[in-house]
A and B are shown apart, each in its own frame.
Chain A
Amino acid sequence: DAGVIQSPRHEVTEMGQEVTLRCKPISGHDYLFWYRQTMMRGLELLIYFNNNVPIDDSGMPEDRFSAKMPNASFSTLKIQPSEPRDSAVYFCASSAYRGANVLTFGAGSRLTVL
């Protein structure tokens, strides 16, 4: 398996633009997580899905953020409109129910909003 695949790896955009980050989890994993990493706040869980259904989105900072998982092999995190304070590295991770909470992380998407 190629692991968790995220795209794009780097994104530079201007304030107000829409940003879409993509994630392909490991085949057979039924949990998918979106984390955000910043120097100030560390690693924050934004939202997670189980069997494509959002379970907990309490970490989503505001309505500008939305996440979807239309099928077991694809998820998106969208920011609209983007703001400079959204600049961060966004990680997607997946795990299997029987994996004792072992998350496999993607390489991350580094977002810079100017």
Chain B
Amino acid sequence: AQSVTQLGSHVSVSEGALVLLRCNYSSSVPPYLFWYVQYPNQGLQLLLKYTSAATLVKGINGFEAEFKKSETSFHLTKPSAHMSDAAEYFCAVTTGFQKLVFGTGTRLLVSP
């Protein structure tokens, strides 16, 4: 069975600083990987997805993630944090059968 582990339930950065949210996956077959974002009192929105094409995936709002098979990682980064990036971020994995398994989430806090 596939799973994802998100390291750090909370990450705090200053506005303008690098954002790095960590995700490691476990899958016996080549995975599809996703990052979703959840703003307060809203549903989850897709940030980006990896589906075995380019290993560096660019998403919305300046976020990107790199698939590293050797490290079984799919970390999310953004060069410069903005106050509006404060939200909860979820990594998710599937092997292609429409059933996503989500991580426990990382809350990103951005201070001025």
Contact = CB atoms under 8 A, between A and B. Distances in A.
- Chain B binds chain A: yes
Q: Is the interface on chain A under 10, 10 to 19, 20 to 34, or 35 or more residues?
A: 20 to 34
Interface residues of B, number: 22
Contacts of B36: 105
A89 to B, nearest CB: 9
Contact of A48 (B43, B44, B98, B102): B98
Interface of B: 32, 34, 36, 41-46, 49, 51, 90, 94, 96, 98-105
Of the candidates A50, A91, A93, A101, the one having the most CB atoms from chain B within 10 angstroms of its own CB is A101
15 contacts: A42-B102, A42-B103, A43-B102, A50-B98, A91-B43, A91-B44, A100-B49, A100-B51, A101-B32, A101-B96, A101-B100, A102-B34, A105-B36, A105-B43, A108-B43
Interface string A41-72: 01101001010000010000000000000000
Which residue of A93, A100, A106 has the most chain B CB atoms within 10 A of its CB atom? A100
A91 B49 CA distance: 20
Contacts, number: 51
A19 interface: no
B102 to A, nearest CB: 4
Contacts of A56: 99
Contacts of B105: 42-43
A77 interface: no
A95 interface: yes
B32 A100 contact: yes
Given A4-B43, A43-B90, A91-B44, A102 B49 contact: yes
A105 B102 CA distance: 13
